């Protein structure tokens, strides 16, 4: 008497999305979709996920009871990921890999206005009007940390702070501004956590 092998391994798909951060507030994502085509594991079924992560990555975590439908994992750093998904009804499993790439997001201070010093006391002013992230205008400057420099865009900033887009009480001279995306202030409204405009 022969016993046939009618086991069916699940179909597993991983869809990666790029990590756009410049710091450890990772913005990569991986979507997991897994299903059984037929047999006892088709429905209702849940899946156990066992991940192999790149060096330095902490997420996604291993888990059980996953639906297998549009399971999205966020806060993922760039690197190569492997997932073994096991059907918790049949015990059958499949392994797939996905690579989350690092995508540099340009931050550009496009427009800076200034008011010249016209008194013998410091009354000049410089202000950032237009910051663009990945080519799109960001209407809220409170999403950025600004660092202001006198004479040279290096060394210790003369003035810095979150949303500090105006440098007041200036004497005549040359001034520089650098904007960087503040992850907490931006609260996911724009990509590129920690990314800076060029010096």
pLDDT-derived band at 55, boundaries 50, 70, 90:
very high
Output b/e per residue, 158-194; b: 16+ Cβ within 10 A.
ebbeeebbebeebeeeebbbbbbbbbebbeeebbbbb
pLDDT at 38: 78
pLDDT-derived band at 85, boundaries 50, 70, 90:
very high
Average pLDDT over residues 177-191: 96
Query: Measured between alpha carbons, how far is 32 from 29 in angstroms, rounded to an integer?
Result: 10
Record: fold of 11-100: Immunoglobulin-like (2.60.40)
Report pLDDT digits (tens) over 94-126.
999 999 999 999 999 999 999 999 999 999 999
State which H helix or E strand residue 184 sits in. Answer: helix 183-186
Q: What percent of the chain has pLDDT over 90?
A: 89
- pLDDT at residue 1 is higher than 90: no
Residues 6+ away with beta carbon under 8 Å from 148? 126, 157, 158, 159, 160, 164, 167, 175, 176, 177
Average pLDDT over residues 48-70: 96
Predicted TM-score (pTM) above 0.85: yes
DSSP letters of 113-179?
Answer: EEE---SSS--EEEEEEEEEETTEEES-GGGEEEEEEESSSSSS-SEEEET--EEEEEPSS-EEEEE
Distance between the two ends of the chain, CA-based, in angstroms? 77
- pLDDT at residue 164 is higher than 90: yes
Nearest Cα residue to 142 out of 109, 184, 175, 100: 184
Report pLDDT digits (tens) over 4-25.
878 888 999 999 999 999 999 9
Domain spans of the chain, in order of start: 11-100, 107-186
pLDDT-derived band at 37, boundaries 50, 70, 90:
confident
pLDDT at 162: 97
Residues 6+ away with beta carbon under 8 Å from 58? none
Average pLDDT over residues 16-36: 96
């Amino acid at each position: 008497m022969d016993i046939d092998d009618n086991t069916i391994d699940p179909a597993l798909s991983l869809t990666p999305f790029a990590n756009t951060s410049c710091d450890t507030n990772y913005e990569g994502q991986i979507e997991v979709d897994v299903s059984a085509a037929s047999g006892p594991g088709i429905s209702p079924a849940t899946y156990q996920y066992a991940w192999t992560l790149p060096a330095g990555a902490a997420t996604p975590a291993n888990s059980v009871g996953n639906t297998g439908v549009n399971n999205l994992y966020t806060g993922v750093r760039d690197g190569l990921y492997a997932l073994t998904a096991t059907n918790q009804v049949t015990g059958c499993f499949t392994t797939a890999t996905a690579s989350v790439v690092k995508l540099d997001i340009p931050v550009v201070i496009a427009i800076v206005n200034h008011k010249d010093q016209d008194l013998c006391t410091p009354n000049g002013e410089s202000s950032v009007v237009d910051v663009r992230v990945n080519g799109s205008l960001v209407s809220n400057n409170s999403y950025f940390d600004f660092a202001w420099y006198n004479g040279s865009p290096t060394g210790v900033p003369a003035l810095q702070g979150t949303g500090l887009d105006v440098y007041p009480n200036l004497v005549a001279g040359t001034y520089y501004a650098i904007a960087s995306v503040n992850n907490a202030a931006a609260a996911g409204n724009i990509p590129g956590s920690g990314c800076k405009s060029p010096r």
